[in-house]
Amino acid sequence: MSTQEAETSSPGGTAAHGPLDVEQAEAALVEHYPRLVRIAYLVLPAALGRNRRVLAAHGLVQRALPRRRTSGSAVPEPRRAEDAVDPGYAYARGEVLRRALRHRPRMPALLPRVWGLRVFPRAGGADELALDQRLSELTAAGRAAFVLRGLERQGDAEARRVLAAAGVADPQAALGEADAVEGMHALLESPEFDPCSLQARPTDLMRRRQHARAALAAAAAALVCGALLGLPGDGWGPAGAAAPSYARNPASEAALDPARLRRIDPAVWRTSARTDFSVWPQRGGLTGDDALLRRALAVWARPGRTVHASATPGTPPGPPMGPPQLLFAGEVDGSRVVLFHDGLRAVRYAEPVDGARGPALDFARTDGADTAGSAALVLTRTYADVRYLTAPWVRAAAQRDLLRPAKPAVPLARDAYGVTAPVLSPARAKDCRAWPVLQLRDERGERLYADLGELAPARLTWGAPGAPGDVTGRAAREAWARTACLLPAVRSHGVRTVNSWQFAEQRLPAGGGRAAWVCTRAETWRGTGARVLAQFQPPGAGTGAVAARSEVSPACGAREPRVLAGVLWQARGGRWHLLAAGTREFVSLTARGGGADAERDGRFLAVPADPGARPQLIGRLANGLRVASLR
Give the CA distances from residue 509 to residues 569, 570, 577, 588, 606, in Å, rounded to whole numbers and listed in that order. Answer: 10, 10, 8, 19, 7
The pLDDT tens digits for 559-580 are 999 999 999 999 988 999 999 9
Confidence of residue 38 (pLDDT cuts 50, 70, 90): very high
Euclidean distance between CA atoms 550 and 483, whole angstroms: 17
> What integer is the mean pLDDT of 83-106?
81
pLDDT of residue 7: 33
pLDDT of residue 411: 97
Main-chain dihedrals φ then ψ at residue 119, nearest 5 degrees = -115, 140
Q: Is the pLDDT reported for residue 504 higher than 90?
A: yes
Taking residue 16's Cβ as centre, other Cβ atoms within 10 Å add up to 19
Euclidean distance between CA atoms 587 and 26, whole angstroms: 84
pLDDT averaged over the chain? 84
| CA nearest to 89, candidates 43, 39, 48, 123 | 39
Confidence of residue 535 (pLDDT cuts 50, 70, 90): very high
Q: Is the pLDDT reported for residue 1 higher than 90?
A: no
Main-chain dihedrals φ then ψ at residue 293, nearest 5 degrees = -65, -40
Using a 10 angstrom Cβ sphere, with 0-12 exposed, 13-18 middle and 19 or more buried, the burial of residue 14 is: buried
| CA nearest to 202, candidates 114, 117, 115 | 117
Euclidean distance between CA atoms 486 and 482, whole angstroms: 9
The pLDDT tens digits for 121-171 are 877 667 777 788 888 889 999 999 999 998 888 888 999 999 999 999 999
Buried b (16+ CB within 10 A) or exposed e, 455-490: bbbbbbbbebbeebebbeeeebbebbbbbbbbbbeb
H or E segment and range at residue 606: strand 604-608
Which of 84-88, 310-314, 609-613 is the most confident on average? 310-314
pLDDT of residue 48: 83
pLDDT of residue 190: 82
> What integer is the mean pLDDT of 201-206?
56
pLDDT of residue 442: 94
pLDDT of residue 428: 80
Taking residue 377's Cβ as centre, other Cβ atoms within 10 Å add up to 24
The pLDDT tens digits for 337-391 are 999 999 999 999 999 998 888 999 999 999 999 999 999 999 999 878 999 999 9
pLDDT of residue 185: 79
Confidence of residue 64 (pLDDT cuts 50, 70, 90): confident
Buried b (16+ CB within 10 A) or exposed e, 202-228: beeeeeeeeeebeebbeebbeebbeeb
Q: Is the pLDDT reported for residue 232 higher than 60?
A: no
pLDDT of residue 282: 97
pLDDT of residue 422: 94
Give the CA distances from residue 493 to residues 314, 344, 496, 522, in Å, rounded to whole numbers and listed in that order. Answer: 9, 17, 9, 9
Confidence of residue 246 (pLDDT cuts 50, 70, 90): very low
The pLDDT tens digits for 256-269 are 899 999 999 999 99
**What is the sign of the dihedral through the CA atoms of 85, 88, 89 and 94?**
positive
Euclidean distance between CA atoms 59 and 612, whole angstroms: 79
* Contact by Cβ (8 Å): 150, 118: no
Confidence of residue 466 (pLDDT cuts 50, 70, 90): confident
* Contact by Cβ (8 Å): 507, 501: no
pLDDT of residue 236: 42
Euclidean distance between CA atoms 133 and 46, whole angstroms: 8
Per DSSP, 100 falls in state H
3-state secondary structure at position 518: strand
pLDDT of residue 12: 38
Domain residues of the chain, as ranges? Answer: 22-223, 259-369, 453-628
Per DSSP, 526 falls in state T
> What integer is the mean pLDDT of 11-39?
69
Pairing between β-strand 495-507 and β-strand 458-462 as defined by DSSP bridges: parallel
284: Cβ–Cβ under 8 A, 6 or more apart, which residues? 328, 329, 330, 337, 417
